[in-house]
């Protein structure tokens, strides 16, 4: 079975670990978000690609969900001693090696997709990890600073330095309009038996992937059923601060609102919208919202959605695959 997953960082990576356990013989292609990428110290850092690669490759710092295990921070300390910032983004010594290899290969002319493939040769994640695009896309967040001035900050500064403590007035994937899907992305979507939206951030992760021209259309027109899992449980994000960026796009922080944000595939012929979802999983605490989601033309099931361990996540993945089989067009 060919499964394609649009994944962001921590939530997407943890879901993929369960999906691999649930479907060990499946051919899984991950389309990774690169809007979180940031250039620091002359290096290109790809947080969401690295989180998927490290998590599935066994090198992730499990508690954080990002960065490497057994990290030391000598280089970071030395940079700070030179007064070279920013200090708010914690890059460890082992992680630096990934960014050095990546930047060296990019500098030699390799596209990000080839670089990612080379890095995955070491980590063997057990999935094909494709960046959404080889072109530079960087998510910026419009905020109002302390003087009331409206300004844009890089997503990582909003997320890590500001801890999303101020409202996000707008979320802009800078460069998305000019970006092209990376080689293999559209082909994978067209050939997929199932397309999954894991519990990643609907705006800055999956939303950013869908903002690359051609990808949203490819999902909407794919023969495969599209099933998503809600990142919102009991009207709050399970992890991270998805509610902050959902607010920026006018979507309330509920499992049903996120489903409607992606849109119901059944609506597509009628409303002409690029409704994407055939099925949606909500947590049992949101069982009362199933009817609302189904009214939007999206088949909905209420199941446990807390990824407490690999077994729990594998159960979620199995349910998502079962729902995909049920809604198959």
Distance CA 155, CA 268 (A): 32
Residue 205 vs 289, nearer CB to ligand FO1: 205
Interaction pattern, residues 193-232, with ligand FO1; x per rule: CB under 6 A: ----------------------------------------
Question: Strand 299-302's sheet: what is its strand order?
Answer: 128-131, 27-32, 2-7, 194-197, 226-229, 279-282, 299-302
Considering only residues 52-71, where is the footprint of ligand FO1 by CB under 6 A?
A: 66-67
Residue 30 vs 45, nearer CB to ligand FO1: 45
Binding test (CB under 6 A) with ligand FO1, winner from 16, 20, 44, 48 = 48
Binding test (CB under 6 A) with ligand FO1, winner from 34, 51, 55, 230 = 51
Q: Residue 78 is encoded by which pair of tokens?
A: 């030395």
Sequential DSSP letters for 29-76? EEEE--TT-EEETTEEE-HHHHHHHHHHHT-B-TTTTSSBTT---HHH
Q: Does 36 bind ligand FO1 (CB under 6 A)?
A: yes
Binding test (CB under 6 A) with ligand FO1, winner from 32, 47, 198, 237 = 47
Give me the residue label for tokens 């198959």.
Answer: 328
The CB-of-193 to ligand FO1 minimum distance in angstroms stands at 27
Distance CA 138, CA 159 (A): 13
Query: CB of 142 within 8 A of CB of 169?
Result: yes
The CB-of-221 to ligand FO1 minimum distance in angstroms stands at 28
Instruction: Identify the CA nearest to 237 among candidates 142, 144, 159, 177.
Output: 159
Q: Does 8 bind ligand FO1 (CB under 6 A)?
A: yes
Residues near ligand FO1, by CB under 6 A: 8-10, 36, 45, 47-48, 50-51, 66-67, 89-91, 95, 156, 159-160
């Amino acid at each position: 079975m060919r499964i394609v997953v649009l994944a962001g960082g921590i939530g997407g990576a943890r879901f993929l670990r369960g999906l691999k356990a649930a479907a060990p013989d499946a051919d899984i292609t991950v389309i990774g978000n690169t809007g979180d990428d940031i250039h620091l110290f002359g290096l290109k850092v790809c947080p969401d690609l690295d989180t998927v690669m490290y998590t599935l490759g066994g090198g992730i710092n499990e508690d954080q969900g990002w960065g490497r295990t057994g990290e030391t921070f000598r280089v970071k300390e030395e940079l700070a001693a030179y007064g070279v910032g920013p200090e708010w983004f914690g890059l460890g010594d082992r992680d630096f090696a990934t960014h050095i290899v990546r930047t060296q290969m990019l500098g030699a002319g390799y596209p990000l997709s080839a670089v990612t493939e080379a890095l995955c040769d070491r980590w063997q994640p057990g999935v094909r990890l494709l960046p959404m695009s080889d072109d530079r896309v960087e998510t910026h967040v419009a905020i109002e600073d302390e003087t009331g001035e409206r300004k844009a900050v890089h997503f990582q500064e909003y997320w890590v330095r500001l801890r999303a403590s101020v409202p996000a007035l707008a979320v802009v994937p800078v460069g998305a309009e000019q970006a092209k899907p990376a080689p293999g992305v559209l082909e994978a979507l067209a050939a997929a038996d199932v397309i999954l939206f894991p519990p990643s951030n609907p705006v800055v992760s999956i939303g950013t992937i869908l903002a690359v021209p051609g990808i949203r259309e490819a999902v909407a027109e794919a023969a495969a059923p599209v099933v998503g899992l809600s990142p919102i449980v009991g009207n709050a994000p399970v992890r991270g601060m998805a509610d902050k960026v959902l607010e920026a796009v006018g979507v309330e922080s509920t499992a049903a609102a996120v489903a409607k944000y992606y849109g119901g595939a059944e609506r597509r012929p009628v409303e002409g919208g690029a409704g994407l979802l055939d099925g949606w999983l909500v947590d049992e605490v949101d069982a009362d919202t199933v009817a609302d989601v189904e009214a939007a033309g999206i088949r909905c099931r209420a199941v446990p959605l807390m990824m407490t361990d690999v077994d729990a996540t594998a159960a979620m993945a199995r349910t998502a695959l079962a729902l995909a089989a049920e809604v198959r067009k």
